[in-house]
Structure formats: structure tokens, C-alpha cells
Structure 1
Amino acid sequence: MSFRDEEAVGRDLQKPFLHTGSWYKMGSRTSSTMGSSAQVMRDGAVSVLFCVLVAALGPIQFGFTCGYSSPTQEAIIKDLKLSLSEFSVFGSLSNVGAMVGAIASGQIAEYIGRKGSLMIAAIPNIIGWLAISFAKVPVYIAEIAPQNMRGSLGSVNQLSVTIGIMLAYLLGLFVNWRVLAILGILPCTVLIPGLFFIPESPRWLAKMGMTDEFETSLQVLRGFDTDISLEVQEIKRSVASSGKRVTIRFADLKRKRYWFPLTIGIGLLALQQLSGINGVLFYATIIFQNAGIQSSSAATVGLGAIQVIATGITTWLVDKSGRRLLLIISSSLMTVSLLVVSVAFYLEGVVSADSHLQNILATVSVVGLVVMVIGFSLGLGPIPWLIMSEILPVNIKSLAGSVATMTNWLTAWGITMTANLLLSWSSGGTFAIYMVVTAFTVFFTALWVPETKGRTLEEIQSSFR
């Protein structure tokens, strides 16, 4: 199939998503042809925020999936008579699904758009949390957000994940694991109809050669009274220079303008998971039990709430302090806290179980875990996804994004699969391993990660040429 044929297929598949919704009608730039509801969204910031909130339902659902294992571990093991190894396989299945979804998500997003790929992803989620990745959420947000709001809105992806995790922890206190699984489908049942009311990414439309639709989408996102001519020209130049009529293959990723940003994206997303965060979040209740905390389930809910607050602070800070600085602070804080947790767990194993020191060490380990999660939420959680969506050129974003995302979830699967087994071997040793990774992350960020704050996507991507 030629590239022109592929473009035609993309247009045909996209049509149902371009012409649905009560306020988003393509083909005209006048507000009168966009439905009466368009009058409500005159302000571009409100329009973008609405789109982000709809798209964020996907990460909320995925966060719910991530948090599901922690409050349900004991009940599932008891009811289904699973061994620790078998439950570890169960706990890691969501990462396997995300990894499989990542392989296909790039090409899906390429042919039916960012919005269309979210809808395709939501359907198997409702059926059973199968083979799904919401990697295109940060890409969609980055491509629709104004330059001065891109960092904050891009961080909403991770904020939504943390909200989903906290909801799973909280609801797990009151319902059994079967009912909790049913509740997990609710966000996507709202996401699917919501997608009919948001526009497609202007940059994707421009790349596919849909000029009228591209300008209309951008006008809706920026507000009908906003002059978008400069942004239109900048996006057109970027699309033209990226060679949209050349099919990108894996071999093309070896070119420096591609492999360098891809290496940064893959590196950050792999280090994010190698820090052990999924092991902590998936099995927080058991970790707190091992630390000697009696009300471990309540402590887990508190951990989830703290993560939401810390990620919310990052959403506010990221466009003010910058991505690179927050990453360095985040990974440094995680390194120190993991060292403390590792030492505390090691000492707990050598002191008398009924000594006063044991209680002190239990408190220290819990505080250390809380600080670790705060550190993660301040940078290493939300920022790698944001940076990946900013530095990848538009013509390789689908293919390279799939590679980076698959790497992330492959690593997450490995961490989730081994965390319970490592903790049963040595809690102190497990956190020492994670500490080494976060220490390396500090140097990786300082040496190779560029600052993207205050730069347009086109400026960032052109700097790698």
C-alpha cells in the first residue's frame, strides 16, 4: 500500500470521529456551523481543559487497575487458593496487557487519530481490562495544549493515574475483590461518550493533510476570538519539514535526530519503572504489614492520598520550575528515602521483635516509603510521559512512542512480577536495588535530559536535527 493510500485509509477511518459531537463539526471555521454548544466554549483554556478532563478518564481507569492488587491480595489468595508466585503473575497481568496494547497503539493512533485510539482502547477495558495502553493520552494532551499550559496539562495524565490508584485503595476497604473489579469499568463507560465531544489533535490532522479540519480543530481549542494564524503556520512548517509523506520504519530510528530523543524517552520511562514504584503501589498493604503496621489497609489509603496531593503539586509546578529540575529533585529524594527504607528493613530483621527499637524502625520504614512516593510524584512519575510527548518528532511519534511505551510496560511487568518474590527474599535488599536505580536516574537526567519548559513542540523537536 502506498503512502497516499495509507493517508486515504486514515481519512476514511477518522471520519466518524471528525463529524460526531454536538459542538465539534469539521469543515467550517465559523461558530455557527459548530453547534449551539460551541458558544459555551469561547474561551480556549476552558475548551482545552474540557478535552483534557475527558481524556484523563482513561488514566484514572488504568490507575484503578494498578491499585487493585494491593487491597485484594489476601482475599484473592484465600478465595482462589493461589500461591505467592501465582498471585505475582496475576498482579503483573495488567502490565502485560499494557505492553501488548503499546505495540499496536502507535499504528492505531496513526490511522484513526489520537482520539479514535482512546475509544478503541476503552472498549476492551470495559470487557475485562485486556491488552490496553493509554500511552496516547499524554501525546494527545501535549498536542492540543497551549505552550504555557502544556506542562501542567500534560501532568494531568499521571495525576489521573494516582487518583485511580487511591480510589482502588479506598474502595477496597469497603467492597470485596469481585465487586471492586466491576467498579473498575466505570471510568471508561463515561470516557467513550465523552470522546464524541472533543476535537482531534490539530497536529495529527495537519500531518494527515486535513488542512480545513486542522485549522478548525485548533480554532476550537484556542477560542473563536483568538488569532491562530501564527500557530497554524508554525505547525504547517513543522509537518512539512518532518517529511510526512515518507513512511517511517524501525531502521529509520537509527538516525541521530530520531534515536537521541527516543533514547531519552526510553531511558526515562524504563528508569521510572526500575525505581520499583509499581512494586510498592501494587503490594503496599503487604509491605506495610511486613513493616509491622497493624492498620496496613488504612495506611495504604493514606499513601494513595499523599500521592495524589504530591502529583497535584507537580502539575502546578512543572511549568514554573521546569521539567529537568523537578526530575533531579525527585530522583534525589527517592534515592535518600530508599536508602533509609533499606536500612530500616535490614535492622528490623536483626533486632528483637518485641524491642522498642522495632517500633521505631517500623515507623521509619513507613515514613521512608511515604517520602519515596512523594519524590516519585514530584517528577519521575508524571514528567517522563510529558517529556516523551514533547521531544518525539510528529512523524515518528506513533512508532517511537509505541517502542518507548512497550519498554516502559515490559519493565513494569518485570518489577511487578518480581517485587513480591524479592520482598520475601529480603525487604532491605529489594529497596537497596531500587535505590541504585534512582541514584543513576539523577546522573542520567543531569547529563542527557533537555529542558523543554517554555518552548513550542516544533522548537523542541527541531533542536535534535
Structure 2
Amino acid sequence: MASQESHLTATLLTSILAAVLGSLQIGYHTGNVNAPAKIIEEFFNHTWRARHNQSMPDHSLTLLWSLSVSIKDFGALLGSLGVKYLADSYGRRNSILIVNCLSVVGACLMSASKSSKSFEVLILGRLVFGLFCGLVMSLNPLYIQEVPALFYKSASLKVQKFKVQQGSSCMCLLQVAGLDTVLGTEHYWAMMLSLSVIPALTQYLVLPFCPESPRYLLIDQGEESKAEAALLRLRGSSDKVFSELEEMKEEAAHTQSGVTIHQFFKKRRYKQPIIIVLIINLGSQLSGFNAIINYSTRMFQAKFDQAKYLTLGVGAVNVIFTLVAFFLMEKAGRRRLLLTGFISIAVCNLLMTIVDSVLHLVPELRSLQVLLVFCLISAYELGPGPISWFIAAELFDQPGRPIAMAFTSMLNWGGKFVLALLFPPLLKLCGEYIYLFFMAVALAAFSFTWIRLPETKGRTFDDIAEEFRGAEGIPLHNNIGFNTFT
């Protein structure tokens, strides 16, 4: 059965694209205050001056700007707490539709901040949008992993990589929009922040006509007839439906329906996957990438007159290497790309520390600094970036998957929040030596991945879950053939 091919029907393609619209919204608001940072900071200062008849102190402006950038990630951290309840209570598709309203409200608040002359409204809007991010970045992988042909991991993974790639492409688009020659101007920056309502409203028009996840309907709800109807719509051929239903029933026989949070963290078969997800996600988010995405314009401004165009280059490199990872993922495997990415990030951070330390003596090295930034981004997008988001969906069985994705979201957004909030003051305090911390995190993640991470390439959900069930109490790296490069 594993040799069968999954066919892309019109309903399946529509379902994929409708779900991807959520990721486009997140991609659009990832770093969208980066390029017009100075203009928005001046808006903060002008608002403060109008209220208090004096300019905002520099340290207060730095802290307020850090809060404005990081509050979205804090909102996402809070939002991730509701993933399990929504996914289990309303299903994958309906939950995405429910949380989509947060995106609309958040974008409207951000857009209204300028006309209301209130930076508090902008911060509130980013907080509300962050709630959407934390929910949809877990709900989307759940839906996307379960809607394609359920037992062909390559097909499922390509859908997930497509989602990540589209988010990166949209991030590059927003950086173009954020230029002061486009929408990142004093007059139009607020309108730029509202453009994400277009994919949000489009999702409301398309997603209601897509089927619910058949896996959720059968395994979680026990509704075989509805699952069969959803499969028939997705596959377009009844001869494929029967075999997939039988495979799902077999998996359901190995799992219990419903896992509480307490049970999730207590079950022995989940302990190894939980530790793997913890290390990979924290290693990914605290290795320096998010500091560059959020603050690259500020990092470059001290050394380049056209820093905003270098920031655009950051977005372009991000998209290019996401595409490279798209084609390499299934050939090279998750483990190899993670190892390559983490060690490359560590080397880049070490070299950035050295270059920044001697930059005042050799100003010509500033071009090398830009090259190292681009290399770090490419290393992140080759493995740690995309894989950290979906690896939990591959390592856990059906009952544990919603909590695992919520856990992943909390780790990702929590790491982003901490880094976005603390990077500006830490950069002032530690200078170039802040990159040594990023290097240490990347090396720790590399070491753990080398020792513990199994390869999931080409394996079904039930196959991986069975491996963990059979490996309870057994170190995975001693299980021959499971934790290898091949």
C-alpha cells in the first residue's frame, strides 16, 4: 500500500490553498514593522509629545519599540494554549475559521492606530493578531497533515513545506511593501498593516466548502460515514477510500481516544518525542534568526546608508532557501537538514562575533557581516525553521497530536517573544558577544539532534507512533536503523 501514489484532486487542492491563506497572513505580519521602523517610532514619539509636551526618553522608546515588536509573539504564546480545546471540540477546519476573526480584528486595530493617534491601539492590534498566530500555526499543520493521502508522508510533507514557503514569500512581499518608496511611508504605513484582511476574507469565502479532516472525524469523533464522505470528496475515487478507512481503523485500535494534558506529559511513549520537540524548537528560535528578521534594518543602519534594501535582501534570501529546502527535504531527510542547519548557524554566529569585534579597525569587513547574516538565514531555512514547526505532527499519534502542536506553538512563539523583547537591550549591553549565546544554543541543538532525533522521512504516522510505543524505556539511538542518515 505504501507504494501507491496520492492524486491531487480539485477538492484536495482547494482545501490546501484555503488553509495556506492563514499562513500567508502570518507571513505578511512577520517583521512587517522592520523596514518602516523609524517612521513608526517617530509616530510613537509624536504621540507622546502631543500628550506630555516633551519627547519620549530614548530608553523608554527602545523598550516601547521592543514591546511593540514582541507583543505579537506573546499573544501567539497565549493563543497556543487554546489549540487542543478548539481542535478537539470543533474540528480542524472549523477551528481555523473561528480563529480567523482574530486576524481581521487585529489588522483593523493596527490600521486604526494612526487615525486614532494611539500607539496603544497598534500594540493591542499586534497582541490580538498574535493570538491568531498561536492558534492557526498549530491548527494549520493538523489540517494539512491529515487532509492529503493520509499514509503517504511525502505528499503530506510537500503540502506542509508549501505552506511554509508561501509564508516566507509573503514575508518578502511585506518587506517590499514596507519600503519608503512603496507603502512604508508616513502616510501609508497604517494601510500597509491592514492588507492581511484580504487573505483572511478570502479564507472565509473558500474554506467552508472544504471537507473536515477524515482522520479527525473517524478517530476522534467515531463518525465513520462522515469520514468516508469526506475521503470520497478529497480522493475523487471510491477505490482509494476503503483502504484508507481500514488503515485509520487500524491506527485507532492502537490508540485511545482523547489524551489529557496531564496524560500527555506522563505517558512514557511521549517522553522522547516531547524532549525532541523541546530541544529542536528552542534551538531553532533562540539561535539568532528571529533577532535578524525583527531588527535587521536597525542592525544595518549603523553601517549602511541603504539599510532598508539590505533588509529586503534578508527577505529574498529567506524565500530562496525555503524553496531550496522544499526540494531537498524529502531527498536529504529531516535529520540531516537539521544537523546541517544548526552547525552552520553556530559557525555564522561565531564569525559574526569576530567580525563585529574588529569592525571598528577594519570597516571594509561590513560587507562580510552582511554575507554572514545571509548565510545564517539560509542555514535556518534549510532545516531548523520549517522542520521545527511540523516535526511534532510526525512524531506523535492521533490523540497526542493536538497537544503536541500546541506545545510546539508555545515553544516557537515563546522563543520568538523572549528574543524580540530582550534583543535590543541585550545588544546594547553585550554588543557583538550576544552572538556567542546564539552559537551556544545552536551547538546544543546540533548535539542533541545528532544523538537523539530519529529520521521520519518516508514513514507513516502509525509506523512512527508504533516505534515509540515499542521503544518505551529504550534509548532511540540504540534502535538500529531508526536514527540514521539513510
Structure 1 pair 424–203 and aligned structure 2 pair: CA distance change class (3 A): same
Identity among equivalent positions (%) equals 26
Q: Tell me whether 1:66 sits opposite 2:78 in the alignment.
A: no
CA distance in 2, matches of 1:389, 1:249: 16
What corresponds to 1:165 in structure 2? 171
In the TM superposition, residue 45 of structure 1 has moved relative to its aligned partner by 5.2
Matches within 5 A, 1:23-422: 43-44=7-8, 46-81=10-45, 83-128=61-106, 129=126, 130=128, 131-132=131-132, 133=134, 134=136, 135-146=138-149, 147=152, 148-173=154-179, 174-175=182-183, 176=185, 177-206=189-218, 207-224=220-237, 226-244=239-257, 246-290=258-302, 292-349=303-360, 351=361, 357-359=362-364, 361-422=365-426
Deviations 1:15-45 (A, max 9, x none): xxxxxxxxxxxxxxxxxxxxxxxxxxx9535
Q: Give the CA RMSD over aligned residues.
A: 1.8
8 Å CA contact 1:157–1:382 kept in 2: the answer is no
Offset of residue 313 of structure 1: 1.6
AA of the residue aligned to 1:271: G
Q: How big is the shift at 1:422?
A: 2.0
Distance 2:63 2:282 in 1: 24
> 1:382 aligns to what SS in structure 2?
helix
Pairwise CA distance, 1:304: 0.5
C-alpha distance in structure 1 between counterparts of 2:21 and 2:448, whole Å: 32
C-alpha displacement at 1:407, in angstroms? Answer: 2.3
Amino acid at match of 2:158: S
* Deviating 4+ runs (over 6 angstroms): none
* Matched-pair contact (CA < 8 Å) for 1:219–1:226: no
> What do residues 107-130 of structure 1 show as CA deviations (whole Å, max 9, x unaligned)?
101111111111112101111151
CA distance in 2, matches of 1:340, 1:288: 17
Please report the TM-score for the alignment, with normalisation by the length of structure 1.
Answer: 0.85
Letter of the structure 2 residue corresponding to residue 459 of structure 1: D
- Residues of 2 paired with 1:248 and 1:228: CA distance? 31
SS at match of 2:193: helix
**Normalized against structure 2, the TM-score is what?**
0.82
Q: What amino acid is the match of 1:49?
A: L
Structure 1 residue 266: deviation in Å? 2.4
Counterpart residue identity of residue 90, structure 1: S
In structure 1, the partner of 2:477 is none
> Equivalent residue for 1:431?
435
**Unpaired segments ≥5 residues, structure 2:** 1-5, 46-55, 107-125, 470-486
Looking at structure 1, the residues matched to 317 and 91 of structure 2 have their Cα atoms a distance apart, in angstroms, of 35
Structure 1: which 5+ runs fail to align? 1-41, 352-356
Which moves more between the two structures, 375-384 or 335-344? 335-344
User: Does 2:457 correspond to 1:453?
Assistant: yes
- Count of residues in correspondence between the two structures: 415
* 8 Å CA contact 2:291, 2:419 repeated in 1: yes
1-side partners of 2:395 and 2:9: how far apart? 23
